[in-house]
Amino acid sequence: MPQGLPRKIRIAFILQVVMVGLAVIAAGWLVSLVIRMGLMRAASESEAKDFFVRLSHDANYGLPHGRNFTSWYVPAGQPATNVPGEFAHLSPGYHDLDSRGLHVRVERQPAGTLYLAYDTQRIDRLMYAFAVLPMALGLIGVVAVSFLTYRVSKRLVTPVNWLARQVAAWDPRRPDIDVLAPHRLPADIGSGEARQLAQALHTLGERVEAFVARERNFTRDASHELRTPLTVIRVAADLLESEALSARGQRSLQRVQRASRDMEAVIDAFLILAREADIEPQREHFAVSDIVAEEVDKVAPLLEGKPVELRVVKRAEPELHAPSRVLAVMVGNLLSNACQYTDEGDIEVRIEEDRVSVRDTGIGMTRETLQRAFDPFYRADQDIGGMGLGLSVVRRLGERFGWPVVLESVPGSGTLATIQFVR
């Protein structure tokens, strides 16, 4: 887990230490600048003014003295013989003599001129002692506290990080929930929230495994139990074909055979939808026109007695490699809906290279109905039979095999349903 919690916490504390360090360094630089440029100027100016005030009261007042500076005084009208040559030519004010390591204050009054020369090395030592050193100690303290906080935080998030790694390593199809069993949890998980979360995930995993097992068992059992009676019905219907039946009996027998085939196709479609997406159904190579022709024959009896023309227009001969029964169920549902909702006019099935479309001249759908057409158990006309599952099944099958279904409709003018083959 390259972006785990410990790594994120480590990065956060490193950034914190770096930012605090930069802030301390910046503050130290500002303090040194203030000391050099502000305090020294103010101190030298104050020292000079104090000297001349005392001199005005006592003509014999001695030169100011201190550990950090040296002073010279030249009375008015006298030559500056006792003053170093590099100072004598300086004008009144504050001067930085970096080449000599000195800061010089020249204060000129009517009584004379005072020279104060500050040693920058001494000033730097004072600044180090009273500014830089405390800040460095403060920075060391911040680093130490941050390190201790990081160690404590890392110890706290280690159980959560371990739990996240275990869950991330799960195979979605067969998650290894045993690793979260209470007796297999590491000792450092403790008894806090991480252990509670692990136990909750373990319980949830057990329930999901049981649910998946029940679903697989149901799919397997339903596939067997539903096909068995259908096989009996089809065999019996095939045997009845050799019997001498009346015209009415022949029609009933044909309806039974069609219904059994339809039921078998629907069962196959539902079982495909019930299986997990990674379990591939049996595929075969087939011509789309053959499936369309079979489904057109199946729905033809629904139009008996209606002034409706059902025709097939072939613009291409596409072939697919997929479960043929899936396409049969999709086309059959669209044709069945077109026949039920069309009382006059025509129904056209158009086969093109990348799609199959079913257009009718039926009652059509409003915008609200069109938005809910794919909802399970929704029927716009309650007087027409059916459970309202046809279009829902069609769309789910289309999504499963990459054949999106598009509906276009105008009330009173009919509906156009298109199955697109995305390759």
pLDDT tens-digit series, residues 129-162: 666 677 777 778 877 887 888 777 777 777 777 7
Listed as own residue / partner, the contacts of 73-79 with beta carbons closer than 8 Å and 24 or more positions apart are: 73/112, 73/113, 73/114, 73/115, 74/112, 74/113, 74/115, 75/111, 75/112, 76/110, 76/111, 76/112, 76/113, 78/112
Reduced to 3 states (helix: H, G, I; strand: E, B; else coil), residue 313 is strand
- Least-confidence region, from 130-134, 357-361, 385-389: 385-389
Mean pLDDT of the chain: 79
Q: Where in the chain is the domain with CATH 1.10.287?
A: 170-279
Q: What is the DSSP letter of 71?
A: E
pLDDT confidence of residue 408:
92
pLDDT in tens, 287-310: 999 999 999 988 888 888 899 999
Q: Classify domain 170-279 by CATH architecture.
A: Orthogonal Bundle (1.10)
Run of H or E residues at 154: helix 133-168
Please report the pLDDT score of residue 415 as a whole number.
Answer: 92
Average pLDDT, stretch 163-183?
Answer: 73
Which carries the bigger pLDDT value, residue 91 or residue 195? 91
Please give the pLDDT value at position 275: 67
What angle in degrees, to the nearest 10, is found between the helix axes of 324-340 and 247-274? 120
pLDDT at 405: 92
For CATH 3.30.565.10, the residue range(s) in the chain are 283-420
Using CB atoms within 10 A of its CB, is residue 321 exposed (0-12), middle (13-18) or buried (19+)?
exposed
Alpha-helical (H) ranges within 341-374 are 367-372
Look at residue 278 in the predicted model and tell me its pLDDT: 57
Give 98: exposed, middle or buried? Use CB within 10 Å, 0-12, 13-18, 19+.
Answer: exposed
> Which residues, in sequence order, are bridge partners of residue 71?
116
- Which pLDDT band, with edges at 50, 70 and 90, does 279 fall under? low
Identify the pLDDT of residue 348. Answer: 95
Tell me how crowded residue 288 is: count the other CB atoms within 10 A of its CB.
Answer: 23
How many angstroms separate the Cα of 212 from the Cα of each of 218, 403, 411? 10, 27, 44
pLDDT at 286: 93
For a pLDDT cut of 90, what percent of the chain falls above it? 14
Alpha helices in 65-132 (DSSP H): 85-88, 120-127
- By DSSP bridging, strand 102-109 and strand 69-75 are unpaired
Q: Which residues are paired to 238 by β-bridges?
A: none
Q: Is 277 helix (H, G, I), strand (E, B) or coil?
A: coil
> Is 284:265 a contact under the CB 8 Å cutoff?
no
Q: Per the confidence metrics, is the pTM higher than 0.85?
A: no
pLDDT of residue 271: 75
Residue 39 has pLDDT above 60, yes or no: yes
pLDDT band at 84 (very low <50, low <70, confident <90, very high): confident
Of residues 335 and 254, more confidently modeled: 335
Contacts of 313 (CB under 8 A, 6+ apart): 348, 349, 350, 351
CATH number of 283-420: 3.30.565.10
